[in-house]
Amino acid sequence: MLATLATLTALALGAPQQTDTTLPVRSGARLEVENFGGGIAVKTWSRSAVRVTASHSSRDRIEIGASDAGLHVKAEGHRGPPHVVDYEITAPAWMALNLSGVYTDITVEGAQGEITAETVHGEVKVSGGSGNVSLKSVQGAVTLEKARGRIDLYSVNEAITASDVSGDLTAETVNGDITLRRIESSNAEANTVNGDITYDGTIKDGGRYRFATHDGSLRVSVPEKSNVAVSVSTFNGEFNSCFPVQLTGKAKHRFNFTIGSGSARLELESFDGDIKICRPGAVSKEE
């Protein structure tokens, strides 16, 4: 019975097949990969070529379009949408990546160029990237490390994590925590509705920082010798600081204080959660 089922399933899906192709690319080319279900895993090498390895059904065909602009990779089903395709791609580190999927996990390791990665159901996990780095998922965690540039991280129903990142940073989710560690930024913003936010990074002179949650706690690092004007707003939470601060403009639910010259601006808002500031390295969600 099981053998019959397996045979019928294999007939329906087609036999597993492997596509393995390597194509040369010119400097500045972009790699675009579209997937419906499965995974997209991108690694990098020093060659000016892209190797595409795809595990897919024999009923599907992997199409690789090449132009001066770069490569476009997608699968075509024999009839209707393609089945599950798992891509393993090796690309030049400098290559800009544009990766998208529906039921797709996306991972990138070692990229040094721009990255756009967007999926509906699946995780996005990226190490590397520079320039515009935009990672989005509806139902999946978004994780970024070792990137620099203009960073845009978005999820709807999962957490966002970024570490060892420098540049302008925006992180937004509805239902999940946002954890930002070892961040070097003069412009950082994180928003969630239902989740905690942790920021452990720089507060640069003249910088702008805004962290807001509706139902969750904020843990934010303020390095020694920072020059920052801090505004704290909470409707139903407590404020704590690991070091002494002189509160000014204290009103119900909100107050301000200034550290040093106050040239940077830090806005901390939690409707229904506690807000705590500490020194870098001492910011911990478990506290």
Report if residue 174 touches another protein, rule: CB under 8 A: yes
DSSP designation for 279: -
Tell me how far, at minimum, the Cβ of 268 lies from another protein, in Å.
11
CA 221 to CA 202: how far, in whole Å?
A: 8
To another protein, the closest distance from the beta carbon of 116 in angstroms equals: 11
Residues 36-55, one symbol each (x = binds another protein by CB under 8 A, - = not), give --------------------
- Does 245 engage in binding with another protein (CB under 8 A)? no
Do the bridges between strand 275-278 and strand 239-241 make them parallel or antiparallel, or are there none, so unpaired? parallel
Residue of 17, 256, 258, 263 interacting with another protein (CB under 8 A): 256
* Interaction of residue 279 with another protein, rule CB under 8 A: no
Nearest approach in angstroms of CB 231 to another protein is 6
CB 282 within 8 A of CB 219: no
Q: Which of 17, 231, 241, 258 binds another protein (CB under 8 A)?
A: 231
Interacting residue with another protein among 221, 233, 266, 277 (CB under 8 A): 233
Site residues for another protein, 95-134, by CB under 8 A, read 120-121
Q: Does 157 contact another protein by CB under 8 A?
A: yes
Rounded to an integer, what distance in angstroms lies between the CA atom of residue 11 and that of residue 28? 42
Handedness of CA 173, 85, 88, 98 (dihedral sign): negative
**Cβ(133)–Cβ(115) under 8 Å?**
yes
Site mask for another protein (CB under 8 A), range 68-97, x = bound: ------------------------------
Rounded to whole angstroms, the Cα distance separating 134 from 171 reads: 10
Compute the CA torsion angle 237, 243, 248, 252 (nearest 10 deg): 10
**Exposed e or buried b for every residue in 140-149, given b needs 16+ CB within 10 A?**
bbbbbbbbbb
Tell me how far, at minimum, the Cβ of 281 lies from another protein, in Å: 30
Residue 248 touching another protein (CB under 8 A): yes
Per DSSP, helices labelled H in the chain are 2-13
> Among residues 271, 274, 279, 282, which is the contact residue for another protein, using CB under 8 A?
271
Closest CA to 117 of 172, 160, 154, 68: 154
Residue span binding another protein (CB under 8 A) among the ranges 50-58, 86-94, 182-190, 211-219: 211-219
Structure tokens at 1: 């019975």
Copy the structure tokens of residue 262: 């106050």
- Of 77 and 110, the one with the shorter C-beta distance to another protein is 77
Does 1 bind another protein (CB under 8 A)? Our answer is no
Query: CB pairs under 8 A, 24+ apart, for 119-122?
Result: 122/39
Residue ranges binding another protein (CB under 8 A): 120-121, 138-139, 156-157, 174-175, 191, 193-194, 212, 214-215, 231, 233, 235, 248-256, 267, 269, 271-272
